[in-house]
Chains A and B, each alone.
Chain A
Amino acid sequence: MPPTITRRRLLAATAALPIAPWPTRALAAASWPAIEHAARGQTVYLNAWAGSERINAYLQWAGSEAAKRWGIKLEHVKISDTAEVVKRVRAEKQAGRSTEGSVDAVWINGENFLAMKREGLLYGPFAESLPSYANVDTSGKPTTRIDFSEPVDGMEAPWGMAQLTFFADSQRVPHPPRSMAELIEFARHHPGRVTYPKPPNFHGTTFLKQVLLERSVDRTPFYAPVATERFARLTAPLWSTLDALHPVLWRHGKQFPATNTDMRQMMADGELLITLTFNPNEAANEIAAKRLPDTVISWQHTAGTIANTHFLAIPFNARAKEAAQVLIDFLLSPLAQARKADISTWGDPTVLAIDRLQPADKVLFAQGSMAGSVVQTAPALLEPHATWVDAIEREWTRRYGQ
């Protein structure tokens, strides 16, 4: 469940950014034991999206561990939209408050990260000098170092993985569509029962990007900045697909649900047949919570779906920078990552390379498949270059948004 839910307009200004081969090491020369020592007794105000009580419960557990091990007090500041935090830290900077900020750590990615990085609102680089970072699967999971085309540069630490996943009740959808072509065919046979969240909602825009990548023969142009003169030609497959799809969508494609969480509920009610998520284990998790029947199944399109990573960052004016680093290091440890990946706890996939772990740590991740989890993982597609997002959202709003 990525913390960014809204627009990504700021990316419009993004030029092609070279990816640094190796980010500079942490700015603080302080040794890790010294950081741990300084962290003792500090309070970390972790600002994190709180729309799920399971995530909240997980953070509560992390807080009790941090208190036991390092005497760090974790306060989960519950927010509904990470943009609130960007706004708050920016306002604090404008008011000249460069220490004693109200945020010590924030759950972040995408547009919010880009805004904070660009405006110098972040502390770091710190991520790659955390002891636990050694186990992060940077080669197998390249999105841990490139966040929506923006080089991470150690300004945020990867926390969990996300990949576009569909789910439905197998009682109503016994043969789920495993490609965009099959999804269109399915929608034609079940008019009014398929839809996607209204862009610029995060999941809605992701669906558009998925359509674009799946319907285009050559994907390479999408990994370079958008060129105005080629935009119409390159995105033509997207609009022709949507023109074909919209008449058979929910409310004839004249209205769209606000979020994918609304869609999950509508799917549970039977109003929709298929919904989508970024957490491959969301359905399994909801089944465990008895909010979805255990006949729900999850799948990804065989040829691959869009994947990304969500992160933890520290604002430039955080009061407890040491404790925030110690806490983030703990959240990256095999113990905390395994618990997070456990479907009955949260089910958020790990950023670690499990094969690189000690045998004792590997065992922590051993979990059999549960009802509702993805059986066959599809290849991960990288997010198109960030400049495409705004261009696609604008064109979508112009064509279908009124």
Chain B
Amino acid sequence: MDTTLRPVKAARGWGWALPAALFVLPLAAALWLGAAEAVDARAWSHLLSDTQFAAALAESLWIAVASTMLSATLCVLIVTRLHGTRAWQRVQGALGGWLAVPHAAFAIGLALLLMPSGFIARLLAGVAGWDAPPDIATVRDPWGLGLIAALVFKELPFLLWNVAAQLRRVGQGAELERQLQIAATMGYSRRTAWARLLWPQLLPRLALPLLAVGAYGFTVVDMALVIGPARPPTLAVLAWQWLLDANAATNHQGAAAALCLTALVAALAAAVVLAWHAVRPAARQRWTRGDRPSAARRFEWPWAGTGAAVYLAVVLSLLFMSIAGVWTFPSLWPSHWTLQAWAGVAHSSSTVGVTAVLAIVSASTGLVLAVAWMETAPAHWDARAAGAVFAPMLVPGVLLVAGLYQLSLHSGIDGRFAGLWLAHSLYTAPYAMVALSPAYRGFDPRYQQTAHALGRSHAAFLLRVKWPMLLAPLAAAFAVAFAVSVTQYLPTQFIGAGRYATVTTEALTLASGGQRNLAAAFALLQALLPAIVFGFAWWLGRRQARRLHAVAMA
């Protein structure tokens, strides 16, 4: 067996360097160029003396911390309560669909539902006797509650999906059941077992997804523009506005703000890690205290039902708004319907084609890079690569895009499909990596040993055994990467010199004209494309599971 294995190991060698370089080199160059724009003393003094800076920063911190804490708490609560039940299966089944709805589209739908002239206010108007929409800030509220709600609804599925991926790792499921059983035989309730035994093991593994959630809440622009506070706006929105200003000095101020956001994300992450280490000894004492809290039966909130209802309501409100014409308050039904928006969509069908081709090409590239890395680099290197992998998620989009644009300009690929492909792949690769790695790294090594022992080449093993067995996670990772590509706005607009219109750029330019039904129609379209791919991935996964099951039975 030894002789069969050696050539395989030798083949690894420096193979990892290629996927790493293809990803890291453009990323590092872009970050360098982006950060260089912020190296300007005057920009920093302008930033610090800007009257909106302090308030915007405080607002951003509050929104990021509140949305992350709330999402994490709900995630812990839901997994503890539902794991091992049929409801958990239902939640897992629905996650793909929820993840497929782009953040901006979700925010638009939620804002349409909640706004003072939205459907909910109209329902209340009959009871409250309003003849005009109430003068209350239900969206774009000064406390950022609307944005926090939208973030929680979008981030919770992402966290649950990460937990599910962790639990799906080979052997994890059985190990978890074993630990729960041991705890049960020792008289611990299921909830106590989760709290003292399983979460302390799981949470450190969720550190990076949680950090991504926090960083996203801190730096998000598109959702904040739709549903976030307006006076002051969040710091990320200010940075974005400054970076897009016609004035070069204001651009530098924007770059400084973006760099400031990046530094704060790093500081927040460090603070959380320190806090974790500080509370660990005290927590450990509590976990190992040995008392047996009673398992009080409480009312079981229908989590899956609630999630499904919110997402359904958001999608329906988008559909409704896309065809509503004149619709005076407080009537529940528009007096005119119009299909103009959908006629407009049909008219720009080429954008759907551009979006799909770009997403397929860059999602495939991202997936290939992720697989190539995991095939050539040992598992314990993943931690070393984490910084680079998570950079596109953690660095504020505006800063990275500014650098990517400079890079494309100097290499002459701006305004070309190749430039867009490169830029999108930088975003799809890390998501593909994160989505794939639990299943891929957890693949039972004994299959490889057996295949090689039977004299199969490594290529044959990959093509005939490993990849077919991992078809479901591969397809799911592709779907995630596809969705990521579809939702890119800034890189598409800048590196493509505006020449390649996708459903997302179209939706946002139309939204700038305040044409609500067109914006709603394109938001739906933005959700529909990833949903189709997620659906296909789900179908592939189920078919493959049946086949594997049939083989195992035979």
Contacts and interface: CB of A to CB of B under 8 A. Distances in A.
B297 interface: no
21 contacts: A5-B512, A6-B241, A9-B245, A49-B513, A78-B498, A78-B509, A80-B509, A81-B512, A82-B246, A83-B245, A86-B246, A90-B248, A251-B135, A254-B142, A261-B514, A269-B328, A271-B133, A271-B135, A290-B326, A291-B338, A401-B52
A97 B338 CA distance: 46
Interface string A216-258: 0000000000000000000000000000000000110011101
Nearest to A271: B133
Contact of A79 (B140, B230, B414, B498): B498
A194 B141 CA distance: 18
A10 B250 CA distance: 9
B137 A255 contact: yes
Residue of A6, A51, A260, A293 with most partner-chain B CB within 10 A: A51
A260 B513 CA distance: 9
Contacts of A192: 135
A52 B140 contact: no
Interface of A: 5-7, 9-10, 45, 47, 49-53, 75, 77-84, 86-88, 90-92, 95, 97, 102-103, 111-112, 115, 192-193, 198, 250-251, 254-256, 258-262, 264-266, 268-271, 289-293, 397-398, 401-402
A398 B326 contact: no
Q: Which 3 A-B pairs have the closest CB atoms?
A: A51-B513, A261-B514, A269-B117
B26 interface: no
A269 B55 CA distance: 31
Contacts of A255: 137, 140, 142, 230-231
Contacts of A250: 135
A19 B338 CA distance: 49
Tell me the interface secondary structure of chain B in the complex. loop
Interface stretch (B212-220, B402-410, B530-538): B402-410
A2 to B, nearest CB: 13
B497 interface: yes
A105 to B, nearest CB: 13
Interface in B261-287: none
Nearest to A398: B51
B498 A84 contact: yes
Nearest to A51: B513
Given A78-B506, A271-B117, 17 more contacts: A51-B512, A52-B513, A53-B518, A78-B505, A80-B508, A88-B494, A102-B499, A198-B230, A254-B231, A259-B512, A265-B514, A266-B133, A268-B326, A268-B328, A269-B117, A271-B116, A397-B52
Given A7-B250, A398-B51, A402-B232, A81 B244 contact: yes
Interface of B: 51-52, 55, 116-117, 132-133, 135, 137, 140, 142, 230-232, 241, 244-248, 250-251, 325-329, 335-336, 338, 340, 344, 405-406, 409-410, 414-415, 493-494, 497-499, 501, 505-506, 508-518
Given A53-B510, A83-B244, A262-B514, A271 B52 contact: no
B244 A271 contact: no
A353 B117 CA distance: 44
B499 A45 contact: yes
A266 B139 CA distance: 13
A223 to B, nearest CB: 24
Given A84-B498, A271-B133, A112 B514 contact: no
Contacts of A81: 244, 512
Contact of A265 (B340, B344, B516): B516
A276 to B, nearest CB: 13
A96 B133 CA distance: 54
A59 to B, nearest CB: 13
Given A9-B245, A269-B327, A270-B132, A397 B513 contact: no
